[in-house]
Structure 1
């Protein structure tokens, strides 16, 4: 079979076939009377072998060794190819993200493109100070939300994170949507960063729904941050997690204050009081836990919490009784001042 026929059947160009011949990779076994290359069926099979190995990413030198050296084992080389391919895909993924970030910024000219590229280079810096400066040095509205959200989810330095959240809230883009994917990440650190960032944008459209999903997260920290943000927005679904925070002593003061805000709704106040009283009576509640629960009761609106505090003032646990008594005195004085104020007016 002549070179033109081989090229048509194999899809390998005549030029590449001549290159294979020059390298000694696939040499035709015969020549015509006129001196033209003539390929045998075995030569054509070798061409297909070469092309198959090329499709895996092997160089022509590696292919020649694989086909000629009987002692050559593919395992190590294939492992190297996997690693090289993964590295290449990672570089291409980063390039794709950069291109998308540039596209999302809707550049009006090459100067806009260069500004976004400069920002991305600054965010890639190993210096936290430079990363922070890269964000703060840009005017509002020129930073694409997608780029900022990705940086928020990847950033560990608290100062840089603060700058990124600040910029994201002012970017004019849909920051919540850009961060939402992070709430479902397998990496718990990314989920925590996403929820904290969305919590700062809790008034934005879609934020409450994303945070509500986070209440079911397997990580307690994610659930707690979501509960605080939702509770401040009046979402009563956060109550069980907030009560749990008081019990566990994690941001219990903040959780108690949010429970106090929620208790302004009488129906919710009864629900919160029932939950707190139930925890007070739990066999596993030690003295410190019961004191935290007692402190939470004083934050509640209405008279229900005060009534429970009066009961706790006679509690068998003297430490709990003393704390409750002190709070009852504070509430009585507060009530007296309120009544006196009304009388004076």
Structure 2
């Protein structure tokens, strides 16, 4: 098959885009990621994943994720699953974030209990978000129990992320919430109570919910209804 000028031009554009992903200027990297997503090419997948693991700018990382979602799942899924097992924190976090955006449940087996309790908060948050998207029908209750073991963990951003993940599962989380509101740890009880409030009223701000929950716990309550 003869190589046409168009083929040559496309190859040149691909090389330029891949090089631009490593440019010192974040604006150039952002445009490159957008270009790669606009014109998907199997040759881009490895570089997009590699760059996601080290890209320092949030908006560029998000564009890299979008670009990956534009490529065939058959190409991206195996690479992303491999990346979830990386030793690098950002590699794991970004791979999980991208898997949550792709939403293919074939990736579910990579969401282990160990991952849901990863020592790094950013990885754990990404795992929680991915889990509620990828969980197979019928396994939501088991996931809720696993997520509930993380109540009381981290700062407000992490606690909000966990509450949102649980609330996204719906009423199935109620038994896990009830158990957590009776925990000995006041931080766990407060976080569970706040999540309970958010389940009842999704429009309620987490800041208000958690402060109210802390007040209830301080007064010796568990939030359980008779």
Which residue matches 2:68?
Answer: 168
1:140 to 26, 39, 47: 39
Find 2:106's aligned residue among 194, 199, 206: 206
* Distance (whole Å) between structure 1 residues aligned to residue 83 and residue 63 of structure 2: 18
Larger Rg: 1
Considering Cα pairs closer than 8 Å and 6+ residues apart, tell me whether 1 or 2 has the greater RCO. Answer: 2
Q: Does the 8 Å CA contact 2:77/2:99 hold for their aligned counterparts?
A: yes
Residues 1:127 and 1:183: Cα distance change in structure 2 (over 3 Å): same
Cα separation, 2, equivalents of 1:293 and 1:205: 28
Structure 2 match to 1:277 = 181
Matches within 5 A, 1:168-187: 168-173=68-73, 174-187=75-88
Q: How far apart in 2 are the matches of 1:218 and 1:131?
A: 30
* TM-score between both structures, scaled by the size of structure 2: 0.70
Number of corresponding residues? 197
Q: Go from structure 1 to structure 2 and tell me whether the alpha carbon gap of 1:120 and 1:140 turns closer, same or farther (over 3 Å shift).
A: closer
* Structure 2: runs of 5+ lacking an equivalent: 1-5, 201-212
Residue in 2 aligned with 1:113? 11
1:298-331 CA-partner distances (Å, limit 9, x unpaired): 3447xxxxxxxxxx9xx6833x75x959xx8xxx
Shift of 1:166: 0.9
Identify if the C-alpha distance between structure 1 residues 142 and 211 changes in structure 2 by more than 3 Å, giving closer, same or farther.
same
Decide which of 91, 107, 121 is 1:190's aligned counterpart: 91
* TM-score when normalising by structure 1: 0.48
1:19-168 matches, within 5 Å, as 109-138=7-36, 139-142=38-41, 144-168=44-68
C-alpha distance after superposition, 1:50-76 (max 9, x if no partner): xxxxxxxxxxxxxxxxxxxxxxxxxxx
**Quick one: distance in 2 between partners of 1:254 and 1:218?**
15
User: Displacement of 1:132 after TM fit?
Assistant: 0.8
For structure 1, which segment, 108-117 or 240-249, has the greater mean C-alpha deviation from structure 2 after superposition? 240-249
Q: Deviations over 1:74-131 (max 9, x none)?
A: xxxxxxxxxxxxxxxxxxxxxxxxxxxxxxxxxx822222121111110121111111
Correspondence 1:6-21 to 2 at 5 A: none
Alpha-carbon spacing, 1:298–1:211, altered in 2? closer, same or farther (3 Å) = same
CA RMSD of superposed structures (Å): 3.3
SS in 1 for 2:186: coil
Contact preservation (8 Å) 1:259, 1:272: no
